[in-house]
A and B are shown apart, each in its own frame.
Chain A
């Protein structure tokens, strides 16, 4: 949809709608600025018609420039490979806006985030609890993402209220934040009646490091290093999304060679994480042999990464305007050779898992996330595809993936087995994509171009192994960052886990959790 088409669709339902302005700064971005009274309706129409969950909803503090806050809501128009942003102004006195949460669930968490970070009230949102600034340690009235925030001021502390399930024989099992394994911190509270779980409440935020604020005032290259450390297992995807946003603002067109290399590294990142999760699922049902096998395959991919780029986690590979690691003839040979072994070992691993009846019995029909629920929650990426929702940025915003004939993979059943099978199929597809990209890489081609620093704003995005990673970036005329809004797919997908678990037994929680394998750090920012 072009902006005029979008406006006519909205007008059909709301005759007195009037857009304040429209803009198409980039071929893949449309911005519609609306009056505050039209904001909610516009979002509803886009949500229903595209259809798209709220991909991003965030505020900006522009009080210094224009005495206002801004609110932006981003939707994905998959059919036309475009992002549609709806924007509105919020007055600085008693700032607030009409909540979308009751009509579009995926807006709910973003609204809570805006409230705690900016002190802007989402009117009529039924859940106003804080997500990341824990009430026990962060006094009321401190809004870190406001521009005039300097240091925390002392004030009243509060407490967090877990939702309580009551009834005869109901008991609660609190777990965390420090878990038994070598893993990030989070608090899970199970309410169970006998064996089945009837409610799971997840309290996260324990790894909150104030990442978005840290981006502010930084130049691109320094910020890029920070982006790599937002979620360590998706470092490349995060740096890619950030670099893409910066390149759009600077008007840089990256060379073809760079695009192939980036695609190749993105798929390598997907592969080591997917095989890691297969091993994790085996571990969580006590099936240690394939788990050990999977960890050997993961190690082989990490060593391949190090051989190609010098970093096992593909850090310091991306830069603004290109990549720093080229693949020469011997590198390509090592890549294709290792890939052959990795593929072989992976197929063996899958065979071992699938031939074990007791393993298959544990994963089949466990932790079902129904398609309807998944759509309502607005979950993204791998989890959404496993529940039958066709969503993959590599398919709908293809770029170089068009040339290599990318096949999007979906599963229908939404259980642990579906998420396992999806990973198996995606792993094979990633191998194929890497071979295709490698075949297109030529020696001695340019892999990066110079980029200046201009002021502006843009959205960068990449389909990481978990799902879409989005970076909305705004810079000033000196090229320093004014605002950086990050969305890791974990942010919305944690909600999916709580629903997938209902009716399952607590011992299946680790298995379900691993089948989602969400990032604590990426969620907590």
Chain B
């Protein structure tokens, strides 16, 4: 506890300064995201992430988007533990045959109104794995997808900016 307090007093709010150009992009995209979410969803947008066969790099970047540097939560995005609490699903990975039922059930568990976002090149069309005997293919052939975040994996900033771009559309 002493260590934590000492750190808090000596360092102030931040432990390391973020590169100014990165900081600027996060802040400007973040502020816009916040006002869009405020307008469209009344303060917050809750997302449930589902991995349908990803290599875990996308997950790592989604987690990074919640670290103190990007901190999506301060702009109104919550990653929630249950589909019952979610407004949207965020799906990563090509859809493995074994995950098909789980994906459909998770979608069914999200209350209406709801929408689906895909994240990473695999989720778009199966990516590197699209010719596999065990891959069902694009998520949008299974669920109605309204938005895709490209990248292998997309960086936290790319995730943030893609969300802004999507919500900006009328």
Contacts and interface: CB of A to CB of B under 8 A. Distances in A.
B51 A207 contact: yes
Given A208-B134, A213-B133, A345-B16, A185 B51 contact: yes
B35 interface: no
A54 B90 CA distance: 39
A519 B56 contact: yes
B129 interface: yes
Contact of B69 (A178, A183, A299, A315): A299
Contacts, number: 154
Nearest to B156: A299
B34 interface: no
Interface string B44-58: 000001111111111
B152 A214 contact: no
Interface in A212-245: 213-214, 225-226, 229-233, 235
Interface residues of A, number: 60
B64 interface: yes
Contact of A232 (B50, B57, B79, B96): B57
B54 A182 contact: no
B97 interface: yes
Given A182-B49, A293-B15, A348-B3, 4 more contacts: A138-B97, A213-B132, A214-B128, A295-B67
Nearest to B64: A299
Interface string B62-84: 11100111000000000101110
B60 interface: yes
A351 B7 CA distance: 11
Contacts of B61: 312
Interface stretch (A144-152, A164-172, A252-260, A421-429): A144-152
B99 A206 contact: yes
B51 A184 contact: yes
Interface of A: 132-134, 136-138, 144, 149, 151-152, 177-178, 180-185, 205-211, 213-214, 225-226, 229-233, 235, 276, 289, 292-293, 295-296, 298-300, 302-303, 312-313, 315, 341, 345, 348, 351-352, 355-356, 519-521, 524
A469 B63 CA distance: 25
Given A206-B96, A295-B64, A352-B3, A226 B128 contact: yes
A205 B2 CA distance: 45
B13 interface: no
16 contacts: A138-B97, A180-B81, A183-B59, A184-B54, A208-B98, A208-B134, A209-B96, A213-B133, A229-B129, A230-B55, A231-B56, A295-B63, A296-B69, A313-B57, A315-B152, A521-B55
A134 B64 contact: no
Chain B contact residues: helix, strand, loop or mixed: mixed
B107 to A, nearest CB: 11
Contacts of A521: 53-56
A144 B51 contact: no
Interface in B82-123: 82-83, 93-94, 96-102, 106, 122
A298 B67 contact: yes
Contacts of A207: 51-54, 93, 96, 98-99
Q: A-B pairs with the 10 shortest C-beta distances? A: A232-B57, A232-B55, A180-B81, A295-B67, A210-B132, A210-B134, A232-B56, A207-B53, A209-B129, A521-B55
A225 B128 contact: yes
Interface of B: 1-4, 7, 15-16, 19, 49-64, 67-69, 79, 81-83, 93-94, 96-102, 106, 122, 127-129, 131-135, 152-153, 155
B55 A210 contact: no
Contact of A351 (B3, B58, B93, B155): B3
Contacts of B100: 137
Given A232-B153, A299-B64, A341 B81 contact: no
Nearest to B63: A182
Given A355-B2, A520-B56, A182 B62 contact: yes
Contacts of B106: 178
Nearest to A150: B133
A355 B2 CA distance: 9
Contacts of A299: 64, 67, 69
A489 to B, nearest CB: 14
Given A178-B102, A180-B82, A182-B49, A232 B132 contact: no
Contacts of A229: 55, 57, 122, 127-129, 152
Contacts of B101: 136-137
Given A180-B82, A348-B7, A144 B56 contact: no
Given A207-B54, A232-B55, A289 B4 contact: yes
A134 B7 CA distance: 50
A210 B2 contact: no
Contacts of A351: 3
B98 to A, nearest CB: 5
Contacts of B122: 229
B23 to A, nearest CB: 12
Contacts of A296: 15-16, 67-69
B119 to A, nearest CB: 11
